[in-house]
Structure 1
């Protein structure tokens, strides 16, 4: 049987590819909107609140459709979804937006894309997936790229670098824990819905959330545009497009085209924010992005079933 990944993409697959690229470009705007909000006076913590809570109110429109699936969830399912939300969404957003405020949108999104390196480690420990020699070499490439981003004229080994790496670590856990969630046959819209709603529910328990929105109400209408861009254009729309695209092409192929996210973020940071990098930093960013791209391509051409999933199938038989 011919390998479907090497076949000429069908018209339906091309639509999926366009949806993925559009989603990646939308995700790439997060650093720009967060920088604008930083300049107005919002901290990285407040930007996280504005993104997640506002997105939660928007996606409440999904509740009637997802309600039958929600009421079927067991306590252990809620625990897994809560971990994915608090680590993969809340923690990632906090670390990423603080990293943007420290080192700028370009380096921050490059550090975020160290996620494939952490995914290898977490997949090995949590999903019992093996680490190949190629994957290990790509991890070293990404680590070397991170080292080069620290050698620029303005970049230093500071909290921005650390937080950017923590964002990549949290981002990788979102995917790894998402695999666990999908193992329980949770539909992708349900996983996305709970990942936002649970984190928003935690944030709504904090007084800082209400102080943040009180501050927002006192600012010009343009500020609301930045918040909507952050939560609608940078969160809800890309996730919706990504989920629709996964109906048309494999996840392994879809992950290749998410490389447009950091490219968009870096281009917008240069054009709109006039943030420049030194030559050595550009080399580091390129190495990180190449490691992420090659990791996606290699996974797409040699997809393996995790050991824990094979064991589950044998038990069912």
Structure 2
């Protein structure tokens, strides 16, 4: 098996792991955890696991520079905490299928913010893809009781946070090892979450829950966060970033299939068309903007 084939399989496996977030988050919603509480469980448990595995990160942590801490903190609060809070809130309101589709509007937001914050141009083709993605968002709202305004806004918010994570980190992450960035993304977010009431309420509820809730919370951290990121980084070392980004489309496809099989989420034809337009736009953007925002794809 060639290194690129191995890398492809690792990227796809990482996408499958990220795709499980919707099912796991919705499972916790159904036993009484709110979106903010689910995000807190994901990040704080992941932080505890990383602390246990701290010796594995020591070489990377030695490369940490004090002057880069503000940029890394911003990366964490937008890309990890902001995205998680918005994404799991969207799942609670509109289900995982629509939430993950709206998360994948991130490439469109990246174009817009790159223009505003970095002064990068937007080509006619980029503008067309933006219009197509916007049409996809409109179609996802054609669901009657399935979609609601709050859920759509939270879903778009998750895409915005994910996009800002890449755009703002374009300079801040230069010279930082990927695993250092991952460690600080979890650490800064976890430290802030420890100050928030919903974190304490989430962990106060957990002891009274069934084994399913416990396993879901652990899987959020182990499978949907640590394993997903580790597999993606390993795969990214063996293949171009643009090609790797295309294979991450398996994430939303996994989320939609799991939602249909285990959560009985029912969408109409217009919503499936909207999801298709959004994901198609994400793939085309990844194919066109080679090596742009490489290494910034943690969730």
Establish whether TM, by shorter chain, passes 0.5: yes
Unaligned segments of structure 2, at least 5 residues? 294-299
| Structure 1 residues 102 and 123: alpha-carbon distance in aligned structure 2, compared to 1, 3 A threshold | same
| Other-structure match for 1:117 | 108
Once the two structures are TM-superposed, the CA of residue 157 in structure 1 deviates from its matched residue by 4.8
- Are the equivalent residues in 1 in contact too, given 2:16–2:250 (CA < 8 A)? yes
Which residue of 152, 155, 170 maps to 1:161? 152
Q: Give, in angstroms, the shift of residue 80 of structure 1.
A: 0.4
Q: Tell me the residue number matched to 2:202.
A: 212
Please point out which of 210, 232, 235 is paired with 2:222: 232
How far, CA to CA, are the matches of 1:71 and 1:204 in structure 2?
25
Contact preservation (8 Å) 2:37, 2:201: no
* Counterpart-to-counterpart distance in 1, 2:292 and 2:168: 17
Take 2:17 and 2:38, find their aligned partners in 1: how far apart are those partners? 17
Which residue of the other structure, out of 18, 21, 24, is the alignment partner of 1:33?
A: 24
**TM-aligned CA deviation for residue 304 of structure 1:** 7.2
Any stretches of 5+ residues in structure 1 without a counterpart? Answer: 1-9, 306-317
Q: Which SS does the other structure have where 1:28 is aligned?
A: helix
CA contact (8 A) 1:149 1:155 kept: no
Structure 1 residue 180 displacement after superposition: 2.3
User: Would you say how many aligned residue pairs link Structure 1 and Structure 2?
Assistant: 294
Moved over 6 A (4+): none
Q: Match for 1:269 among 245, 249, 259?
A: 259
**Which deviates more from structure 2 when the two are superposed, residues 54-63 or residues 132-141?**
54-63
Name the counterpart of 1:248: 238
Which structure has the bigger radius of gyration?
Answer: 1
2:160, 2:280 → 1: CA distance? 18
Alignment-derived partner of residue 86 in structure 2: 95
User: Aligned match of 1:172 in 163, 177, 180?
Assistant: 163
Q: Distance in 2 between matches of 1:65 and 1:129?
A: 38
Q: From 135, 142, 150, give the equivalent of 1:151.
A: 142
CA RMSD, 1 decimal: 1.9
Displacement of 1:62 in angstroms is 4.4
Matches within 5 A, 1:1-317: 11-183=2-174, 185-300=175-290
Using the TM superposition, give the Cα deviation of residue 121 of structure 1 relative to its aligned residue in structure 2, in angstroms.
Answer: 1.4
Any idea what SS the aligned residue of 1:276 has?
coil
Assess if the C-alpha contact under 8 Å between 1:110 and 1:288 holds in 2: yes
